[in-house]
């Protein structure tokens, strides 16, 4: 299974970025997908996830600002990030887990088996 994340970059506070993650080598429609992030000196943390039934979960820190979506036709998830803050600066990782229960959306990193390489997001003035 390969996950390829893209879309990171630098933006000023209040700006927007969109991340994408393309999955290959798995049955994408049977996967729950997630985004996690890790800032320097901090532990990796949950950002958002989307289940097989398209239900979404968000961390409290991004709820209302970020939107996760999936397109099963092209094996891709997106993370639209709006109203970015300096504290959103981190390396963002996408993750997948094949065979989750249909109505369950995982939130913990140990629930995901496959990970992408990460993409840097920097929010700074």
What would the pLDDT profile of 42-94 be if each residue is shown by its tens digit?
999 999 999 999 999 999 999 999 999 999 999 999 999 999 999 999 999 99
Query: Which residues lie below 8 Å from residue 74, measured CB to CB, with a gap of 6+?
Result: 22
Burial of 97 per CB tally in 10 Å (0-12, 13-18, 19+)? buried
**What are the pLDDT digits (tens) for 99-120?**
999 999 999 999 999 999 999 9
What per-residue confidence (pLDDT) applies to 48? 98
What per-residue confidence (pLDDT) applies to 75? 97
**What are the pLDDT digits (tens) for 8-34?**
999 999 999 999 999 999 999 999 999
CB burial of 29-38 (b: ≥16 within 10 Å; e: otherwise) equals eebbbbbbbe
3-state secondary structure string, 8-36? CEEECCCCCEEEEEEEECCCHHHEEEEEE
Contact 103, 90 (CB under 8 A): no
What per-residue confidence (pLDDT) applies to 121? 98
Q: Give the pairing type, strands 17-24 and 76-81.
A: antiparallel
């Amino acid at each position: 299974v390969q996950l390829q994340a893209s879309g990171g970059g630098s933006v000023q506070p209040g700006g927007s970025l969109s991340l994408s993650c393309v999955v290959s080598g798995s049955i994408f429609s049977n996967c729950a997908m997630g985004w996690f992030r890790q800032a320097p000196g901090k532990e990796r943390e949950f950002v958002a996830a989307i289940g097989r039934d398209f239900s979404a979960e968000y961390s409290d820190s991004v709820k209302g600002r970020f939107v996760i979506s999936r397109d099963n036709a092209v094996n891709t998830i997106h993370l639209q990030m709006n109203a970015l803050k300096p504290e959103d600066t981190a390396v963002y990782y996408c993750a997948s887990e094949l065979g989750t229960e249909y109505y369950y959306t995982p939130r913990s990193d140990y629930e995901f088996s496959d990970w992408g390489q990460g993409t840097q997001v920097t929010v700074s003035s």
